[in-house]
């Protein structure tokens, strides 16, 4: 009823899932990554949970679009079935015939035959169960039995359970512990943050044909607070807001209209009761408790990033508060409250007066021998948006982001980071990655283009919606030297490696330098003079400043030398003689439309989401022994005492450990004042003993505070791990309860510190 009034093509806030309106926040994208990685490489079960309306179904549909072609998906949307009905439904989805009186065994055998047949054809089979919290325990147990169908390498049926938080509670039942232990990936969807609510509303209006903002900032903030960031509630409130604004003939929704809409549609909503039954008034945010801990953790993370990068080379762009038409998209760090900082402006110089460019269209089949022309200023007008250029750059890396989502954060999907700097032209070509370039326009204006392809003194740019071909002379003349490049930093850390730094990144660097330089030197755990010398040699051979400091530029060039996955400057420019003559005169040739992104994506790995690092689980068995297990005996060393006294920390090989554990051991050893390495090792061995909670004395168990572990999210990236205990989100390094510090989150357990003891507690249990 209001579409014509607001000049919309359709209603932007319908609650029916429409692929056109999909908005995947960073949380939804991370959920996709977790679930997809959980079923890869032989995984059998993955779990996705979330409150009503948080986007589980949307995530599920997006997940189906990202599965490989050779995948057969069976979907069960009505899980209120018996065991027999489950098997029959699975047969229906897999296209298997059966009789109504077929036994369980006959149905099971038919399914098993189908799974082995699919496996022989290279087809993976996935069972997706929505609203899985309604499954009966015996049905869940049957699902576990189906995952027993396997080869020596992988499970043949991969099951994804999608449901509300009650599903996690169900899986904590003792009779379902075998099923719970087989879950290789868990993720709990959180509501949208206030910033994401703004992006969500803008995205849906844009998808419905809206060209202007329809909601005031104050209205968006109110809607974010009152809906708690739940997408379904946001849709209902926004739809009612537009109806009220239409009745009052107002072109924008203000705070008063949004407030009235909230009263109209939320007063009767049961959503005023947050999860776990803690009632709050309607005026209090409903769902923010879900991520109150996450905001605090993000604030600590922001502080850590600032401290950690303050001593770097300074070539990673700092966070800024806003974009301008004359600056590249700034790098953003997630913080708890808005941080206002100075905006880095790209200084632009007016285009030389002698340059009178015109854009030339390729000849058509009309018989005309002269190409059509258009003014250069018209092309510039189409390329003033830095956000659109960033959109194109993200797409070249395989990420389809809207303008709002295509911001330049330090770490984004696929472990990408942004590098923004003034660069010499030759160095830009050495990096050999697509880049957003800031270009000088008429009257001091700045326009933005993506350097996409190169040829013999000719370059192809993506400018606005056009592909244009320019000469090297023109590009050098118009480019103001500012470039923004996406890259994959080693181990997710974009900062430079400094002198005497230790750790996994140092080993990573030297291993690759040895490979490139043909060196057989042993790998060191510390960045010293020998490593700096190798960096200088590599830098000199690749026309970089030979300062011996491995920073983003060095990492990016090393990345290209090793031919790591990612888009490169495609060497596909093949201008015709007439086009060569035109660009030699300073003209710009507009190339025919084509999907350039398909060319770039050929160099990307599949799937687009980065595979997580595998860490061997150290789970505590459900029925832990009552006696403390004996410590594993190590082989007796043949070194004499004198030899042992000569050992140093550099003689210790920590490569067999996970990066996190290696860092902890290395830190403890470095701070230990013992004279010999043997003494250090003996002390740290005693310090890192972990005791299963079932092995604790009754007295210590009584002193432990009561803890209800409700959610368990493990990721290879330590920053993405979190648990929910006693209705509170907690991350590593934070207090779980009074006197209980969370030291580590592992795939199937957590390690806490209590009274100087390290205690292992199984995931999703109550103590």
Of 562-576, 678-692, 703-717, the range with the highest mean pLDDT is 703-717
Specify the pLDDT at position 716.
Answer: 59
Specify the pLDDT at position 537.
Answer: 93
Confidence grade of residue 334 (pLDDT, cut at 50, 70, 90): very low
Of 706 and 415, more confident:
706
Confidence grade of residue 216 (pLDDT, cut at 50, 70, 90): very high
List pLDDT tens digits, range 183-192: 888 888 888 8
Confidence grade of residue 353 (pLDDT, cut at 50, 70, 90): very low
Judge whether 580 lies within some domain. Answer: yes
- Residue 646, pLDDT above cutoff 70: no
Of 357 and 17, more confident:
17
Judge whether 297 lies within some domain. Answer: no
Same domain, 382 and 505: no
Distances (CA, A) of 545 to 493, 494, 539, 549: 21, 18, 6, 9
- Residue 601, pLDDT above cutoff 80: no
Q: The dihedral of CA 489, 491, 492, 497: what is its sign? A: negative
Last residue within a domain, chosen from 629, 658, 687: 687
Of 90 and 266, more confident:
90
- Residue 110, pLDDT above cutoff 70: yes
Confidence grade of residue 218 (pLDDT, cut at 50, 70, 90): very high
Mean of the per-residue pLDDT values for the chain?
A: 73
Confidence grade of residue 95 (pLDDT, cut at 50, 70, 90): very high
Number of domains, the chain: 6
Asked which of 34-43, 326-335, 403-412, 477-486 is least confident by mean pLDDT, the reply is 326-335
Average pLDDT over residues 429-444: 87
Alpha-carbon distance of 258 to 270, in angstroms, equals 19
Judge whether 365 lies within some domain. Answer: yes
Specify the pLDDT at position 62.
Answer: 82
127: Cβ contacts below 8 Å, ≥ 6 apart: 73, 74, 75, 76, 90, 93, 143, 146, 157, 158, 159, 160
Distances (CA, A) of 483 to 181, 417, 486: 48, 14, 10
- Residue 283, pLDDT above cutoff 60: no
Judge whether 336 lies within some domain. Answer: no
Last residue within a domain, chosen from 158, 189, 220: 189
Same domain, 584 and 438: yes
Residue 589 sits in a domain whose CATH number is: 3.90.70.10
Are 127 and 92 within 8 A, CB to CB? no
Residue 538 sits in a domain whose CATH number is: 1.10.101.10
Confidence grade of residue 533 (pLDDT, cut at 50, 70, 90): very high
What proportion of the chain, given as a percentage, has pLDDT over 90? 15
Of 337 and 555, more confident:
555
Average pLDDT over residues 262-275: 59
Judge whether 295 lies within some domain. Answer: no
Specify the pLDDT at position 668.
Answer: 55
List pLDDT tens digits, range 370-389: 444 456 776 677 777 777 88
Of 699 and 596, more confident:
699
- Residue 174, pLDDT above cutoff 80: no
Of 292 and 565, more confident:
565
Asked which of 61-65, 139-143, 288-292, 640-644 is least confident by mean pLDDT, the reply is 288-292
Other beta carbons within 10 angstroms of residue 706's beta carbon come to 8
Same domain, 677 and 750: no
User: Domain range for residue 61?
Assistant: 26-189
Asked which of 48-62, 362-376, 741-755 is least confident by mean pLDDT, the reply is 362-376
Average pLDDT over residues 612-621: 36
Specify the pLDDT at position 35.
Answer: 82
Same domain, 467 and 391: yes
Last residue within a domain, chosen from 168, 189, 210: 189
Number of H helices, E strands in the chain: 25, 24
Specify the pLDDT at position 198.
Answer: 92
List pLDDT tens digits, range 61-88: 888 888 888 889 999 887 778 888 889 9
- Residue 278, pLDDT above cutoff 80: no
What distance, in Å, lies between the first and last C-alpha atoms of the chain?
55
645: Cβ contacts below 8 Å, ≥ 6 apart: 675, 676, 678
Question: DSSP labels for 632-677?
Answer: PPPPPP---HHHHHH--GGG---TTS-HHHHHHHHHHHHH---SSH
Specify the pLDDT at position 92.
Answer: 92
Judge whether 362 lies within some domain. Answer: yes
Of 489 and 371, more confident:
489
Orientation angle between helical segments 217-227 and 231-247, nearest 10 degrees: 140
Same domain, 422 and 473: yes
Same domain, 58 and 148: yes
- Residue 107, pLDDT above cutoff 90: yes
Same domain, 655 and 588: no
Q: And the tokens for 9?
A: 């093509």
Other beta carbons within 10 angstroms of residue 702's beta carbon come to 8
532: left (phi over 0), alpha (psi -120 to 50) or beta: alpha
What proportion of the chain, given as a percentage, has pLDDT over 70? 67
Residue 30 sits in a domain whose CATH number is: 3.40.50.300
Confidence grade of residue 343 (pLDDT, cut at 50, 70, 90): very low
Alpha-carbon distance of 105 to 110, in angstroms, equals 8
702: Cβ contacts below 8 Å, ≥ 6 apart: none
Place of tokens 């009235």: 260
Judge whether 15 lies within some domain. Answer: no
Question: DSSP labels for 377-395?
Answer: HHHHHTT--HHHHHHHHHH
Average pLDDT over residues 556-581: 76
Distances (CA, A) of 38 to 74, 177, 192, 510: 17, 18, 23, 31
- Residue 274, pLDDT above cutoff 70: no
Specify the pLDDT at position 316.
Answer: 37
Same domain, 694 and 722: yes
Same domain, 209 and 184: no
- Residue 686, pLDDT above cutoff 60: no
Specify the pLDDT at position 219.
Answer: 94
Same domain, 229 and 282: yes
Residue 255 sits in a domain whose CATH number is: 1.10.8.60
Ranges of H-type helices in 483-564: 504-517, 529-541, 552-561
Specify the pLDDT at position 436.
Answer: 92
Same domain, 183 and 199: no
Confidence grade of residue 138 (pLDDT, cut at 50, 70, 90): confident
Specify the pLDDT at position 586.
Answer: 65
Specify the pLDDT at position 505.
Answer: 85
Same domain, 404 and 445: yes
Of 537 and 20, more confident:
537
Specify the pLDDT at position 502.
Answer: 84
Q: And the tokens for 2?
A: 């209001």
Of 442-446, 464-468, 518-522, 651-655, the range with the highest mean pLDDT is 518-522
Judge whether 178 lies within some domain. Answer: yes
Confidence grade of residue 42 (pLDDT, cut at 50, 70, 90): low
Specify the pLDDT at position 397.
Answer: 80
Specify the pLDDT at position 572.
Answer: 60
């Amino acid at each position: 009823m209001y579409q014509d009034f607001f000049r919309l093509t359709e209603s932007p806030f319908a609650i029916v899932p429409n692929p056109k309106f999909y908005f995947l926040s960073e949380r939804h994208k991370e959920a996709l990554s977790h679930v997809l990685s959980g079923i890869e490489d032989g995984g059998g079960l993955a779990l996705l949970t979330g409150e009503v309306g948080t986007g589980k179904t949307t995530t599920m549909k997006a997940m189906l679009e990202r599965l490989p072609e050779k995948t057969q998906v069976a979907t069960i949307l009505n899980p209120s079935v018996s065991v027999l009905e489950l098997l029959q439904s699975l047969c229906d989805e897999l296209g298997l015939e059966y009789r109504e009186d077929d036994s369980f065994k006959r149905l099971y055998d038919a399914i098993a035959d189908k799974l082995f047949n699919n496996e022989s054809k290279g087809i993976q089979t996935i069972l997706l169960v929505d609203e899985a919290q309604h499954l009966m325990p015996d049905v869940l147990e049957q699902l576990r039995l189906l995952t027993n169908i396997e080869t020596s390498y992988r499970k043949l049926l991969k099951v994804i359970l999608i449901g509300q938080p009650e599903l996690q509670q169900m899986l904590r039942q003792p009779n379902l512990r075998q099923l719970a232990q087989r879950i290789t990936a868990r993720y709990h969807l959180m509501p949208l943050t206030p910033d994401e609510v703004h992006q969500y509303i803008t995205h849906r209006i844009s998808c419905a044909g809206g060209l202007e903002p329809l909601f005031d900032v104050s209205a968006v903030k109110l809607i974010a607070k009152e809906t708690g960031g739940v997408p379904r509630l946001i849709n209902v409130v926004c739809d009612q807001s537009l109806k009220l604004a239409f009745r009052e003939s107002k072109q924008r929704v203000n705070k008063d209209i949004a407030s009235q809409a909230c009263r109209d549609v939320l007063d009767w909503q049961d959503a005023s009761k947050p999860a776990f039954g803690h009632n709050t008034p309607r005026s209090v945010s409903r769902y923010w408790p879900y991520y109150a801990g996450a905001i605090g953790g993000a604030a600590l993370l922001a502080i850590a990033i600032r401290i950690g990068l303050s001593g770097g080379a300074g070539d990673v762009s700092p966070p800024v508060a806003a974009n301008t038409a004359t600056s590249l998209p700034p790098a953003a760090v997630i913080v708890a409250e808005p941080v206002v900082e100075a905006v880095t402006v790209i200084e632009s110089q007016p285009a030389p007066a002698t340059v009178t460019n015109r854009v030339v269209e390729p000849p058509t089949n009309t018989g005309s021998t002269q190409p059509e022309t258009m003014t250069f200023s018209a092309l510039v007008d189409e390329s003033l948006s830095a956000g659109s250029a960033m959109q194109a750059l993200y797409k070249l890396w395989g990420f389809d982001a809207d303008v709002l989502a295509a911001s330049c954060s330090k770490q984004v999907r696929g472990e990408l980071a942004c590098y923004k700097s003034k660069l010499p032209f030759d160095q830009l070509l050495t990096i050999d990655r697509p880049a957003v370039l800031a270009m000088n326009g008429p009257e001091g204006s700045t326009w933005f283009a993506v350097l996409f392809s190169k040829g013999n003194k000719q370059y192809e740019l993506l400018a606005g919606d056009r592909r244009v071909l320019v000469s090297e002379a023109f590009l050098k003349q118009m480019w103001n030297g500012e470039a923004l490049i996406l890259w994959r930093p080693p181990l997710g850390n974009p900062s430079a490696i400094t002198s005497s730094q230790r750790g996994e990144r140092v080993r990573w660097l030297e291993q690759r330098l040895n490979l490139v330089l043909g060196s057989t030197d042993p790998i060191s755990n510390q960045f010293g003079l020998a490593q700096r010398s190798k960096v200088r040699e590599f830098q000199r051979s690749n026309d970089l400043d030979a300062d011996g400091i491995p920073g983003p530029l060095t990492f990016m060039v090393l990345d290209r030398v090793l031919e790591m996955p990612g888009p490169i400057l495609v060497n596909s420019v093949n201008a015709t003689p007439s086009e060569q003559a035109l660009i030699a005169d300073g003209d710009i040739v507009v190339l025919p439309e084509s999907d350039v992104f398909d060319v770039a994506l050929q160099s990307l790995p599949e799937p687009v989401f980065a595979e997580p690092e595998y860490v061997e689980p150290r789970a505590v068995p459900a029925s832990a022994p009552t006696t403390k297990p004996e410590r594993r005996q190590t082989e007796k060393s043949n070194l004499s005492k004198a030899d042992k006294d000569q050992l140093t920390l550099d003689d210790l090989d920590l490569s067999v450990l996970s990066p996190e554990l290696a860092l902890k051991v290395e830190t403890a050893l470095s701070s230990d004042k013992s004279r010999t390495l043997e003494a250090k090792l003996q002390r740290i061995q005693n310090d890192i003993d972990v005791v299963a909670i079932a092995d604790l004395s009754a007295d210590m168990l009584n002193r432990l505070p009561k803890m209800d572990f409700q959610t368990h999210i493990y990721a290879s990236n330590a920053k993405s791990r979190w648990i929910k205990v006693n209705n509170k989100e907690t991350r590593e390094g934070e207090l779980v309860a009074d006197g209980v510090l969370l030291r580590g989150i592992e795939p199937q357990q957590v390690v806490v510190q209590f009274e100087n003891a390290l205690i292992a507690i199984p995931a999703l249990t109550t103590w």
